[in-house]
Chain A
Amino acid sequence: MATLTLIQAVNDALRTAMKNDPNVLVFGEDVGPKGGVFLATEGLTKEFGEKRCFDTPLSEDGIVGAAIGMAVNGLKPVAEIQFQDFIFPAFDQIVSEAAKLRYRSGGQYTCPMVIRTPYGGGIRGGLYHSQSGEAYFCHTPGLKVVVPSTPHDAKGLLLASIQDPDPVLFLEPKALYRSVKGEVPEGNYTVDLSTLRTVREGKDVTVICYGAMVPVCERAAARAAERGIECHIVDLRTLYPLDEDGVLEAAKRTGRVVVVHEAPRFCGYGGEISALIAENIIEYIEAPIARVTGFDTPFPNTLEHHYMPDERRVLDAIEHVAAY
């Protein structure tokens, strides 16, 4: 097994998929000779040629629309949107088209395709290179939304997404691209798109998180442990459709729940998790469910470290629900 960064694992997954299936194509802005602005597609044009990994004109609507057409006609497109913040010109293609095609055609037409895109803050990218837009997409039946947090999962989840029969939005936590490393198996393997991952076992407080917030929660849990609070952390991995049983099971373990995400709070993903728990297992819950999230403002630049949930804010919430 090789030790890879998360971005190297993404690159490895793309290479593996392209080797295994000649119908897999990779395209987007600057993904060709440059290898992508984060180097996710580095070396792929050289290895597989310009017909399989290539640059498109600067149009996200074009990228996703063309991907849908390719997918309905037998290809396996893996499109890159350079930053998730720039996906909105393609919102119509994703929400009105890709997500609804199977349903509206009575199952006659389908578009198995993947849209990969880096999301989240931590690079001083200001309003438009930092956003976490998962909630917009998790409100879209027909679409799958996947967010890895480790190199192992990044590769296995991306390969599973490429092999999936439905359209998948694959959100890559750019803050983790080079900051996490881990062992990654060689060749083809998949990580199931319907189960969460238990990151850490504990009996006192359940912390529910995903993507870039996973290492933040792990650090907060380590500090909580020093104060005698044992956290149970789960990484959701696939946000939609959600492993609801897994979430309820994790929440029941401790009866005290903290939900963490970087995106704004209002109508954010955490609201759905809280409602799920409150609706189904309220009798097991011993403290108000706490959400630690970005503020309900656009994403700032200079003060981004005050905006993004950090381990202190998560720790505050853990201590609060533990003491309740």
Chain B
Amino acid sequence: MTSTAPRTVIQPDGAAKPRDVGLSDKELIHAYRTMLRVRAFDETCLKLQRSGRIGFSIPNRGVEATQVGAAAALKKTDWLFPSYRDFGMALYHGISAEAMMHNMYGDALDSAKGRQMPVHFSFTDPIRFFSISSPIGTHIVQAVGAAYAMQYRKEKHVVLASFGDGGTSSLGFHSGLNFAGVWKAPVIFLCQNNQWAISCPSEKQTASDGYAVKAEAYGMPGVLVDGNDLLAVHQAVSEAAERARKGGGPTLIEARTFRMGGHSTSDDPTKYVPKAMVAEWEKKDPVARFEKFLKKRKLWTEKQREQWYAEAMAEVDAASKAAQATPRPALETIFSDVYATLPAHLRRQGQQAFDIAKRHGEAEAGDGAFPL
């Protein structure tokens, strides 16, 4: 699609160029194990959806390196304005598979109290992983506001806004980049170009030569990077973060990758994705690519992989069992958090909902008397 080649760090033989990749051995292994955990979480969710235990999931296969590489460039004091496909960003920064699984089940321990669809995570700890909204692109300009607050308080933190190729057509993208350019806000725009917006291919999304070039019009650097190369993504985001921390303003990074699965569990990609394209990208698997690099550094063996993957699966399995054993959210959660304090009309409506449920024998343990 583009004439410019994306930046890479991991060479075909597995060697890194430059040799200093900016991550310690410990961080490299954590990044690798995070990708395995994303795979385990992803595969488990697809199975849970097929067996009807959860309603919906978003396949992550193929895009793990972009998410994990970007996350590895951030500190816990930075903020993430993520998209629904960013399992790896959460897991890398210590959000547990169990916390995420409670969201997939929408149960009583879900941090969003079962109000949102699966994959619409919201966390504050151990990193600010901002509440995900379904409308595409709305968060991109919000990220700029959060970055402005950091700038205002003279903090050296940055905000990373993550979105897809489709997201670049939204109003939020254009306002977001424009505002950030004018304000020199400490924000990194990460466009995960996985080539598809559901069934819409990139050539129908934009007439420009990829997405990184759009940066120029907003007065900021644009970087095109190989999204299946964890180290290249890490390098690009690190550079952008460093520039932002020093007051150098925003960067737009396009990570070119490929969505190996459907858009979601409701989608059948075989209807519109050319088979040859899938076969071509299968060869560029980001996990296999990182393994080649680790092997060359003597940090990886097949046997280690098996052990780590088994551990990842066990973790996700335990998370799923825990979520399955958790009751649904209490009825009051329909009415709480609409406002800081419950208004009178919602107290009345809540009581009514509770009375109906009780009358029909549907109140569950934990509901008690309507408590709000």
Binding site for B on A (CB under 8 A): 29-30, 32-35, 37, 55-59, 61-62, 85-86, 88-89, 124-129, 265-266, 295-298, 300-303, 306-307, 312-313, 316
Contacts and interface: CB of A to CB of B under 8 A. Distances in A.
B359 to A, nearest CB: 9
A303 B120 contact: no
Contact of A30 (B120, B200, B335, B345): B200
B106 A302 contact: yes
A32 B137 CA distance: 22
A34 B198 contact: yes
Nearest to B134: A128
Contacts of A37: 198, 266-267
Contacts, number: 121
Given A58-B136, A303-B114, A312-B360, A89 B167 contact: no
Contact of B116 (A29, A33, A58, A301): A301
Contacts of A32: 199
B169 interface: yes
A55 B200 CA distance: 7
28 contacts: A30-B198, A34-B199, A56-B204, A57-B204, A57-B206, A58-B137, A58-B166, A61-B171, A126-B120, A126-B134, A127-B116, A127-B134, A129-B117, A129-B134, A265-B349, A266-B345, A295-B334, A297-B334, A297-B338, A300-B115, A301-B106, A301-B115, A302-B106, A302-B329, A303-B114, A303-B328, A303-B331, A312-B360
Interface residues of B, number: 46
Interface in B93-109: 106-107
Looking at chain A's contact residues, is the secondary structure mostly helix, strand, loop, or mixed? loop
A203 B345 CA distance: 33
Nearest to B271: A34
A128 B194 CA distance: 23
Given A30-B200, A58-B166, A89-B171, A306 B357 contact: yes
Contacts of B198: 29-30, 34, 37
Q: Which of A55, A61, A62 has the most CB of B within 10 A?
A: A55
A128 B135 contact: yes
Q: Which of A124, A301, A306, A313 has the most CB of B within 10 A?
A: A301
Given A30-B199, A312-B356, A59 B116 contact: no
Given A55-B204, A124-B55, A124-B117, A86 B353 contact: no
